Amino acid sequence: MDKKTYSLILSILLSAFALFAISAQEGFAQSYTLTVINTGAGHGTVKSNPSGINCGSICTGTFAKGKKVTLKTKPDNDSSFAGWAGGGCTGIDPCSIIMDSDVTVTATFDLKTPEMSLSTDELDFSGSESGKKVTKTLVISNIGTGNLIVTASVEGEGFSIAGKSTFVVKPNKSYNLKVTYAPSASETLETDTLATQELAPGPKESEDIEPSAEGSADQPTLKLETNDPKNLEVLVELAPLVPVAPDAVLEFKTLVNYGNCSDEATTGVEEIGQFEISFEYLKDKGYYNIYCGGATCKGVTEASGNFKCPNGCTLVYKQTEIKYIIYGELSKDKSTLTLDIFHGSEPPGTITVTCPNIPTQVTPFQCHTENFMFPRVKMPFVQGAIDTFSAAGYTQTITLSRISK
């Protein structure tokens, strides 16, 4: 081989080697690095397709230029995926990246957190009648992302919870907690009102619903202990149970032994009337007080009599608007009614006297000449109960009718 030919072959080989070296260098530069950063209070795994990323254990991978890499997440049971950042990835759906440069992507995981919302901040038992079972419902909703665990307990005599005292409410679900009050026939719940806590539906800051510091052990409350970090303990007021006030009608019938038309003849004048009475419960005193638009009940009676005297004369007595004022109380168990009856002022009535051969005479007259208090009445508060007593020339009969309890 001559020198010229050798030089030509050597030049071709050197050119080929240089071309190979350039191609090899360019081929190395076609691969790029994908880095995934796991962050947040929660926990989870990010994997790639094709394989190469398995983060938490492997958080970097190398992929050829132009390669499409899809990242998917798998949160742990106690966590949720909050979203992507970087590499053009957003939202919570799987993220696809075309590898044309080195890329860093951040995946954020949050802990699942429950949050409690109540349908009301109190269970109102007011107006319920003592002696009868009453059930109210509190709707507990979970507007958070984690399972809400609730333990409920009642502080208050006669109250109970229907069903489980500890239960789980899944996210976006509700639980109907039923609270029952079953007093005895004579039991009445007496309590002051707790300060109302604001816990309306929707996200709230913890300071809005801190447990009330007011109240005491004898005040009825429903306590909810939860795993909600914003509402670890919530007190729900059980509004006071106030017995329904009864009402009744008192029928008055009085026989007044008056009509002295002679020493030998005494006859009766009948006085009748009806008094509608109602009551209000006095929590501080523990009984019902008569209340008819004021502190007492007022009413009127009418008296009349028609009788003959031994001398042949006829006397007709008539008087209207005889005024009475009634004070009284009904025992807490609605068994005994105590009355103080006061006879007040009255307009005069008339006595019409008709005698043989004598012109008829009409004379003003009052059955009661002065105000006075009747003897105290104490009688059972039952339909048709009657109390009768006599004093100072009259016999008083009081009958209870139309009782409403």
pLDDT in tens, 194-227: 333 333 333 333 333 333 333 333 568 899 999 9
CB 143 within 8 A of CB 203: yes
pLDDT value at residue 346: 78
Convert the chain into a string of H (helix), E (strand) and C (coil): CCHHHHHHHHHHHHHHHHHHHHHHHHHHCCEEEEEEEEECCCCEEEEEECCCCEECCECEEEEECCCEEEEEEEECCCEEEEEEECCCCCCCCCEEEECCCCEEEEEEEEECCCCEEECCCEEECCCCCCCCCEEEEEEEEECCCCCEEEEEEEECCCEEEECCCEEEECCCCEEEEEEEECCCCCCCCCCCCCCCCCCCCCCCCHHHHCCCCCCCCCCCEEEEEECCCCCCEEEEEEECCCCCCCEEEEEEEEEEECCCCCCCCCCEEEEEEEEEEEEEEECCCCEEEECCCCCCEEEEEEEEEEEECCCCCEEEEEEEEEEEEEEEEEECCCCEEEEEEEECCCCCEEEEEEECCEEEEEEEECCCCCCEECCCEEEECCCCCEEEEEECCEEEEEEEEEEEC
pLDDT at 171: 93
Whether 285 shows a pLDDT value over 50: the answer reads yes
Q: Which of 15-19, 69-73, 95-99, 318-322 has the lowest mean pLDDT?
A: 15-19
| Per-residue pLDDT, 26 | 47
Using CA atoms, how far apart are residues 17 and 394, in angstroms rounded to an integer? 143
pTM: 0.47
The pLDDT, as a whole number, for residue 3 is 58
Mean pLDDT in residue range 331-339 = 89
pLDDT for residue 152:
95
Would strands 314-331 and 287-290 be described as parallel, antiparallel, or unpaired? antiparallel
Mean pLDDT of 16-23: 49
pLDDT tens digit string along 78-129?
888 999 999 999 999 999 999 999 999 999 999 889 999 999 888 887 666 6
Mean pLDDT of 350-369: 84
Q: Smallest Cα–Cα separation from 105: which of 119, 118, 92, 86? A: 86
Query: Do residues 274 and 302 make contact, with C-beta atoms less than 8 angstroms apart?
Result: no
Contact 73, 143 (CB under 8 A): no
pLDDT range class, residue 141, cuts 50, 70, 90? very high
Longest dimension (CA), the chain: 190
pLDDT tens-digit profile of 368-404? 666 778 888 999 999 999 999 876 667 889 999 888 7
Over residues 286-302, the pLDDT tens digits come to: 888 988 866 678 888 89
Say whether pLDDT at 28 is over 70. Answer: no
How many other C-beta atoms can be found within 10 angstroms of the C-beta atom of residue 21?
Answer: 10
Residue 212 tokens, joined:
């009330």
270 or 185: which carries more pLDDT confidence?
Answer: 270
Q: How far apart are the first and last CA of the chain?
A: 134
Identify the pLDDT of residue 130: 57
Residue 39 pLDDT more than 60?
yes
Amino acid at 192: D
By C-alpha distance, which of 179, 192, 183, 178 is closest to 129?
183
Between CA 130 and CA 148 the distance in angstroms is 35
Do residues 10 and 42 make contact, with C-beta atoms less than 8 angstroms apart?
no
Residue 304 bridge partners (DSSP)? 270, 318
- Separation CA 56–CA 149 (nearest Å): 30
- Spatial separation of the C-alpha atoms in residues 197 and 121, rounded to whole Å: 6
Model confidence band, residue 7 (pLDDT cutoffs 50, 70, 90)? low
